[in-house]
Amino acid sequence: MQDPWLRNSALVWMPSPQSIDVHNMYVCDLMNEGSRSWNMNLIRGIFPSCIVDNIMQVPFLDVVTRDTLIWKEDKCGVYTVNTSYRLCMENIMNVAKHSIPGEWKRIWRIRSSPKARNLI
């Protein structure tokens, strides 16, 4: 587990190598259950002292809420293939610059043969 998750006082990501035993742990697993404090014995057993010092400096929030996954590209916060495709097209091709104003949705809903649609 080499993913950075802790910053030092200069806000630089710190490497924090651990043994394979902790790969499925979360930060909340390093806390004492039922209180807003670190489990010092556990942390000292897992991390080197320079990392322990940085963990101890991480403040606890006054209010803890459950994490929620949110897709910021959608007004409802829900990931869809449609919003992902739109984002990709905007970023890759900058489609907004090349769009042509008009009633395109109405045009594409017209019932016609595939050959006629290709002419449009």
Q: How far apart are CA 44 and CA 59, in angstroms?
A: 18
The angle formed by the CA atoms of residues 61, 78 and 99, to the nearest 5 degrees, is 125
Instruction: Supply the pLDDT for residue 41.
Output: 92
Tens digit of each residue's pLDDT (9 = 90 or more) over 61-114: 777 677 777 788 888 888 889 888 888 887 777 655 666 777 777 877 888 887
Instruction: Supply the pLDDT for residue 14.
Output: 67
Domain extent listing, the chain: 6-56, 81-119
* pLDDT at 44 exceeding the cut of 80: yes
Tens digit of each residue's pLDDT (9 = 90 or more) over 50-69: 788 888 888 887 776 777 77
Quick one: which H or E segment has residue 53? Answer: helix 49-56
